[in-house]
């Protein structure tokens, strides 16, 4: 069990290093613009596996995600087929992620369209 905890800690540390390389900034996630808007996704969402990991979806199509001071900004949209699209910018490169989205009340379930083992549940903590 101790080895598992050490491995988990090592992986978490490496993921933070990777997050910095992927364009995460050093501003705090609470420093975000207003989240008011009509789309049901607009608001602040907390990951059920870590109350410190948040997604912020703003009404203007901008957003941010991260934990503490490690946040990454993105733009987002929901296509007509219901797929949630994130656009992240790293330097001059823009990369996209596509997620199937199920939204029921204050519960958001997203599943990556390229790897359905990447499935996450979020709870709305602020917003519509």
Contact indicator for 41, 124 with CB cutoff of 8 Å = no
Does residue 95 register a pLDDT over 90? yes
* Helix, strand, or coil (residue 6): helix
> Average model confidence (pLDDT) for the chain?
77
Closest CA to 123 of 53, 69, 74, 59: 53
Per-residue pLDDT tens for 13-37? 333 334 444 444 444 334 344 455 6
Tens of pLDDT, residues 46-76: 999 987 889 999 999 999 999 878 899 999 9
Q: Supply the pLDDT for residue 36.
A: 54
- The ranges assigned to domains in the chain are 24-127
User: Which architecture, in CATH terms, is 24-127?
Assistant: Beta Barrel (2.40)
Does pLDDT of 87 surpass 80?
yes
So what's the pLDDT on residue 109? 96
The CA-based angle 38-53-74, given to 5 degrees, is 55
Q: Identify the sign of the CA torsion 115, 121, 127, 128.
A: positive
Q: So what's the pLDDT on residue 104? A: 94
């Amino acid at each position: 069990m101790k080895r598992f905890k050490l491995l988990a800690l090592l992986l978490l540390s490496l993921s933070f290093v990777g997050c910095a390389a992927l364009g995460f900034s050093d501003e705090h996630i609470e420093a975000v613009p207003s989240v008011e808007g009509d789309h049901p996704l607009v608001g602040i969402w907390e990951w059920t596996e870590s109350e410190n990991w948040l997604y912020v979806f703003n009404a203007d199509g901008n957003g941010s995600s991260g934990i503490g001071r490690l946040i990454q900004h993105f733009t987002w949209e929901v296509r007509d087929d219901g797929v949630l699209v994130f656009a992240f910018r790293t330097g001059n490169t823009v990369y996209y992620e596509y997620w199937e989205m199920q939204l029921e009340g204050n519960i958001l379930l997203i599943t990556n369209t390229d790897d359905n083992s990447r499935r996450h549940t979020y709870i709305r903590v602020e917003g519509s």
